[in-house]
Amino acid sequence: MTSLQTLRRLGGRSGKQLLRVATLLLATTVVAFALVSLSPVDPVQQYVLGVGNVSMEQRAAIADYWGLNDPPVQRYFLWLSALLRGDMGTSLLYRQPVAVIIRERFLNTLALMMTSWLLSGLIGFTLGCVMGLRRGRWLDRVLRALCLMLSSVPTFWLGLVFLLIFSVALGWFPIGLSRPIGVANADVTFGQRLHHLALPALTLSFISFASVALHTRQKLIDVLESDYVLFARARGENTWTIMKRHGFRNVILPALTLQFASFSELFGGSVLAENVFSYPGLGAAVSAAGLNSDVPLLLGVTIFSTLFVFSGNLIADILYGVIDPRIREERPHGQSNRD
């Protein structure tokens, strides 16, 4: 198959993907908007809490200014048309443009998520391979019990336990935030950032590494019991050779896909982890926005997280096509005369 054909196929696929992401965005924003509209929290009340003495007339003026008296459908379309012009609106809570908030916080969240993503991927894959190779033995049983236990522990609880042990009792890690207090942003060193990142990232990675490990274990067992591994053994290949030649090759693909498709859980987990560790990322912002009925911020982050999760799935999809020869290469017609 020529690269031109590949390109054409990818082109056709990306058109479809674009349509999918547009409808997905529309749907998620509508749902998010409907949920905040139904919320009993009055954004004006939340706003004036921080301002102090505000008369009823002033409140009404604020509500009017924010357009809270308009029908919800009209408000939604106002927001949408502004968005299409590139304006994500202004956060009621932080009194800053939503785009600025997202830009600032996204880097924090991205650092957190990527670190924990790598951690959970590496630990999960390694553990899964160890369990698969030792299947049925005591090491496998112990690790599997551990994984099953971990996958049923709530993140925020685990975060609190880590906080208590490593930050409060042992003092190894800071208690919160993404950098030391009282240090200007420009002066924060990479080491300091990492130091603040470590514990939340570890907590977050604990959500998914157990499932990665269990999945990898099962997949590896399937591979080791396959006909082709039996044949490899018949040809005198030892376990390590079999792992090198057939094991990793056949296990890494589903593991990678799973890992990229886990972006949604990662984002959900980051909301909890960031709140426990007072880590100033998007997750903390979105829960604040929800609790205070900050519609523009909430919708802004919704769009952003939808795009984020979607791109994870898209990468998984594309990776499959690039790595898996059964998708990458065409079935030749009859006798092949390629290359």
Partner 1 sequence: MIDPLSLLLDVQNLSVSFRRYQRGLAQTNLNVISDLSLTARAGEILAVAGASGSGKSLLAHAILGLLPANAMLSGVMRYDGQPLNAVRQKQLCGSEIALIPQSVTYLDPLMRVGDQARGAEKSAERMERQREVFRRLELPLPSERLYPFQLSGGMARRVLFSTAIISDARLIIADEPTPGMHLSQAMEALSILRELADAGKAVILITHDVDLALNVADQIAVFYAGTTLEETPAADFAAGPDALRHPYSRALWRALPQNGFEPIPGFQPYPEALPDGCLFGPRCELKTAACEQETPPMRTVRGGKVRCVHAA
Which residues form the interface with partner 1 (CB under 8 A)? 226-228, 230-237, 241, 245-246, 249-250, 253, 324-326, 329-332, 334-339
Q: Which two tokens stand for residue 11?
A: 């082109």
Residue 309 and residue 315 in contact, taking contact as beta carbons nearer than 8 Å: no
Q: Smallest gap, in angstroms, from Cβ of residue 165 to partner 1? A: 42
Q: Smallest gap, in angstroms, from Cβ of residue 257 to partner 1? A: 14
Q: Is the CB of 58 or the CB of 226 nearer to partner 1?
A: 226
Q: Which of 278, 295, 308 is nearest to 88 (CA)?
A: 295
Q: Is the CB of 70 or the CB of 330 nearer to partner 1?
A: 330
Q: Smallest gap, in angstroms, from Cβ of residue 11 to partner 1? A: 24
Q: Smallest gap, in angstroms, from Cβ of residue 80 to partner 1? A: 46
Q: Is the CB of 59 or the CB of 135 nearer to partner 1?
A: 135
Q: Smallest gap, in angstroms, from Cβ of residue 146 to partner 1? A: 25
CA atoms within 13 A on the CB side of 290: 13
Q: Which of 218, 294, 147, 318 is nearest to 286 (CA)?
A: 294
Other residues' Cβ atoms within 10 Å of the Cβ of residue 231: 11
Residues whose CB is less than 8 angstroms from the CB of residue 255 and which lie 6 or more positions away in sequence, other chains included: 121, 124, 125, 128, 212, 215, 216, 219
Q: Is the CB of 195 or the CB of 245 nearer to partner 1?
A: 245
Other residues' Cβ atoms within 10 Å of the Cβ of residue 201: 25
Give the burial class of 138: count Cβ atoms within 10 A of its Cβ; 0-12 exposed, 13-18 middle, 19 or more buried. Answer: exposed
Q: Is the CB of 85 or the CB of 235 nearer to partner 1?
A: 235
Q: Is the CB of 3 or the CB of 185 nearer to partner 1?
A: 3
Give dist(CA 314, CA 317) in Å, integer.
5
For 111, 234, 322, the CA distances from 229, given in Å and listed in that order, are: 40, 8, 24
Q: Smallest gap, in angstroms, from Cβ of residue 259 to partner 1? A: 18
Q: Smallest gap, in angstroms, from Cβ of residue 234 to partner 1? A: 4
Q: Is the CB of 67 or the CB of 332 nearer to partner 1?
A: 332
